Amino acid sequence: MGDFHQSGAITTLHRLGPPSLDRLEAELVAQARSRPVALVLPCLQSELRGPGLKGIVDTLRGVHYLRQIVISVSGSEARAEYEEMRDFFEGVETLGGEGPVLLWNTGPRIQELYRRLREEGLALGSGGKGLSTWLAFGYVLATDVARVIAVHDCDIRTYNRELLARLCYPVVHPNLDYDFAKGYYGRVADRMYGRVTRLFVTPLLRAMKSVLGQHPLLDYLDSFRYPLAGEVAMKTDLARINRIPSDWGLEIGMLVEVYRNCSQKRICQVELVDNYDHRHQDLSEGDPGAGLHRMVVDIAASAIRNLASYGVEFDSGFLNTLTAAYRRFAQDAIASYCDDAALNGLVFDRHEEERAVETFSRGLRAAGLGFVGDPMGLPQIPNWNRVISALPDFLEELRDAVDEDAAEL
């Protein structure tokens, strides 16, 4: 059983006592009539052969309260690969008896829509999970059948129906009526995982607070127990007005947009499962363009640019101070995690943890220097209100493109 402690700027909904899946799902089925739910799955073609996606598909066959399932597929260059993904989801049905909808991101019809957006001066970034998620949000808005959108990753190895039900419940149920819910969970097997959260994001936020003093945005971000979790649920109105990054800064960027556009009383984090496992990425110590190294560069760039938008000044002197403060907070965190691992009999490689902090320090510095050199940086994907303003028929064209791709199967 977890604790029930409330701390920070947002409400925490804990997982207390034995699972209550039957009750949760029965209430979700009842509420789905007035608050239909769309599940968005940003998915790489390569995940088709990974250890997580098959279990997710098998589990979704037993879920009966989803009104819409939208799979945004990236990395499938050939039509045969797109068709293979479609076949993989065979047997998954929504509340209305319909199958999932597949968005073929790399297909010619979607690529033509991307070209039109760029011609209008609407930047889409370099592609990736953020763009895939944003496009799926657009399709949900275009069809106008859902009032709530849930999102989760497709590489979860410990996926189950309780995870999805607990994610949806705070936003779907009218007695709770949150606008945004962020999932959190433990990441422990024979050792502690979640290095980027443990050794980078949390120490960085606390280093920023030690250097800058109290700041409402930092207090808000530091309230999330797992800010990099890919599992979120939100009202469709938020999906319409939020701008999001296209790179690894997606999760932090989304949290900041929610902070801007939503009352904190309508934001919560919810404990989904006791433990969670997914695909683990390499540190890529010597390659800032890959693995966790690239991830921390993108995350740091997102955090720095968002703080700058609130008036925080960043220059090379401040960056030196921040990097030194971050290293101290991260090294103190290593000592705490080492003791925690010892008490619980977990494997703990202190040398590898120190190597991660050194790599993350270089990533932080690279992101900071990138900001000093180019404060504008990579723009966020425009929100859907701006797209509709520039191209009033775009959502209808997106829906038609997806339907035409599906009709050719």
User: Which element (helix H / strand E) includes 2?
Assistant: none
Nearest CA among 47, 37, 35, 97 for reference residue 72: 47
Phi/psi region, residue 402 (left: phi>0; alpha: psi -120 to 50; beta: rest), is: alpha
Mean pLDDT computed over 370-376: 83
Q: Which tokens go with 229?
A: 């979790």
* Backbone phi and psi for residue 141, each to the nearest 5 degrees, phi listed first: -65, -40
pTM surpassing 0.85? yes
Mean pLDDT over residues 240-263, rounded?
92
- Radius of gyration from C-alpha coordinates of the chain: 21
Residue 75 to residue 297: CA distance in whole angstroms: 23
In this prediction, residue 50 has a pLDDT band, given cuts at 50, 70 and 90, of confident
More confident residue, 64 or 377: 64
pLDDT band at residue 290 using 50, 70 and 90 as cut-offs: confident
What's the gap between Cα 52 and its chain centre?
17
The rounded distance, in Å, linking the Cα atoms of 343 and 141 is: 49
* Per-residue pLDDT at 110 exceeds 90: yes
> How far is Cα of residue 212 from the mean position of the Cα atoms in its chain?
27
**Cα 376 from chain centroid (whole Å):** 23
| pLDDT value for 1 | 47
pLDDT at residue 347 above 50? yes
More confident residue, 7 or 271: 271
Q: In the chain, what percentage of residues exceed pLDDT 70?
A: 99
Residues 324-344 pLDDT 10s: 999 999 999 999 999 999 999
Query: Token digits for 219?
Result: 């207090």
E strand or H helix at 197 = none
> In this prediction, what percent of the chain has a pLDDT beyond 90?
70
* Gap between the Cα atoms of 369 and 16, Å rounded: 45
pLDDT at position 204 is 97
Beta strands at 101-104 and 37-44: parallel, antiparallel or unpaired: unpaired
Q: What is the pLDDT of residues 212-234, one digit of tens each?
A: 998 999 999 999 999 999 999 99
Token pair of 218 as six digits: 């930092």
Which is more confidently placed, 409 or 330? 330
Give residue-wise pLDDT tens across range 29-45.
999 999 999 999 999 88
Residues 56-91 have pLDDT tens digits of 999 999 999 999 999 999 887 788 888 888 889 989
Mean pLDDT over 234-247 rounds to 93
* Tens-place pLDDT, residues 386-399: 999 999 999 999 99
